Amino acid sequence: MTAIDLSGRAVNQRVVERDLRGSDPQRTLARLSAMVREVVGEVTGSGMTPAGACLALPGIVDASGMTRFAPNLGWQEVPALDLVRTGSGLVDLSWSVGNDADLAARAECQARARAAEHAVADEDFVYVAGNVGLGGAVIRHGFLAGGVHGWVGEIGHSPMDPLGPDCACGANGCLEQYAGRHIVMTQAGLAPTARIESLLEALGEVPEGADEPARERHTKAVTAVDVAARAIGLGAATMVNIVDVEVVVLGSMYADLFAWVAPTVQREVDRRVMAARWAPVRVERALVTELASLRGAALSVLEAVAAAPSSWTERS
């Protein structure tokens, strides 16, 4: 959880790392509610007034706050926003909800505009993030391209191989089965929940005289990451062919692995984007690499305040 002030500076932050695959939504959201209550208590105790809260959720989430389907959590039809709002006791607070990859892309959009010193409206890119599975988003003219239902960007469930492995979404051969975080870690010979540092260590140069297990770990890691990079390149190229942007941004896990995956992703994009010879597509590392979804959620609240400051001051 992240709380920011009106300048966008983080003033309070809590991170609890857990493997939530197959978790009980009621218990998980009850723990989150308690954390929200605690952080809001600390923020108000320091003299600040909460302007609102945004809940970042994976998978298919609708505007009402219902998690329709989060395959990597095993959740279906979970009223996540209502459970957190009532569980935290903050029913009078202004609440909103968003897909985690979408919110991360919003944070990235602001960061890139600020770094380039141009308007947010000048940002156009496809965003790819590897957290548990593989998420994505499309930014056009500084705004999320949400589609009819707000569900654009599910790159992780684009088909790679009709004969490929089963996916938690119910289909098979999805991109996520080649480039999702847990898959990559497993294929690299690591625990599915291993930290990225473990994978980076396995990818590092094998010292002369290293034993056979060390060399095997390195080979597995390199192979797993190469397979993921090629899959991401295919998926990103497909999205660029459809939405026509000139930048692919690799975030989250793939920002950490950028040096290893970017050349392969770039080659696939150059080869497969039909218009690349006239409008080259750049593969770039995300600027927001830490807790991007949380920052995007917090910034969405700040944006709402900035858009209608008088309505908020009247409520406060």
- 3-state secondary structure labels for all residues of the chain: CEEECCCCCEEEECCCCCCCCCCCHHHHHHHHHHHHHHHHHHHHHCCCCCCCEEEEECCEECCCCCEEEECCCCEEEECHHHHHHHHHCCCCCCEEEEEHHHHHHHHHHHHHHHHHCCCHHHCCEEEEEECCCCEEEEEECCEECCCCCCCCCCHHHCECCCCCCECCCCCECECHHHHCHHHHHHHCCCCCCCCHHHHHHHHCCCCCCCCHHHHHHHHHHHHHHHHHHHHHHHHHHHHHHHHCCCEEEEEEHHHHCHHHHHHHHHHHHHHHCCCCCCCCCEEEECCCCCCHHHHHHHHHHHHHHHHCHHHHHHHC
Q: What is the pLDDT of residues 246-266, one digit of tens each?
A: 999 999 999 999 999 999 999
pLDDT-derived band at 313 (thresholds 50, 70, 90) equals: low
Overall average pLDDT of the 77-93 stretch: 95
Q: Which pLDDT does position 101 carry in this prediction?
A: 94
pLDDT of residue 308: 79
CATH fold label, 124-285 = Nucleotidyltransferase; domain 5 (3.30.420)
Contact between 133 and 180 under an 8 Å Cβ cutoff? The reply is yes
Give 99's strand partners.
57
Per the listing, tokens 């989430």 go with 61
* Beta pairing, strands 67-70 & 75-78: antiparallel
Average pLDDT, the chain: 93
pLDDT at 156: 94
The structure tokens 């989250």 sit at 252
pLDDT at residue 17 tops 90: no
Report in angstroms the alpha-carbon separations of 272 from 66, 164, 267: 37, 21, 9
CB atoms near residue 44 (< 10 Å): 11
b/e map of 65-81 (b: 16 or more CB within 10 Å)?
bbbebbbbbebeebebb
Phi, psi of 22 (to 5 degrees): 70, 20
CB-side exposure of 102: number of CA atoms within 13 Å? Answer: 23
Residues paired with residue 67 on neighbouring β-strands, in sequence order: 61, 78
Q: Is the domain defined by 2-100+292-315 classed in CATH 3.30.420.40?
A: yes
Separation between Cα atoms, residue 137 and residue 292, nearest integer Å: 13
pLDDT per residue over 118-139, tens digit each? 999 999 999 999 887 899 999 9
Please state the rounded mean pLDDT for residues 218-238: 97
Residue 186: band (very low, low, confident or very high) from pLDDT cuts 50, 70, 90: very high
* Confidence category of residue 312, pLDDT binned at 50, 70, 90: low
Which is higher by pLDDT, 133 or 229?
Answer: 229
The pLDDT of 282-295, averaged and rounded, is 95
Q: How confident is the model at residue 315 (pLDDT cuts 50, 70, 90)?
A: low
The reply to whether 2-100+292-315 and 124-285 are identical in fold is yes
Share of the chain above pLDDT 90, in %: 80
* In the chain, where the domains are located: 2-100+292-315, 124-285
> What percent of the chain is modeled with pLDDT above 70?
98
Average pLDDT over residues 235-249: 96
Residue 291 backbone dihedrals phi, psi, to 5 degrees: 50, 45
Residue 181 neighbours by CB under 8 Å, 6+ apart: 130, 131, 132, 133, 134, 253
Q: Mark residue 94 as left, alpha or beta (left: phi above 0; alpha: psi -120 to 50; beta: remaining).
A: beta
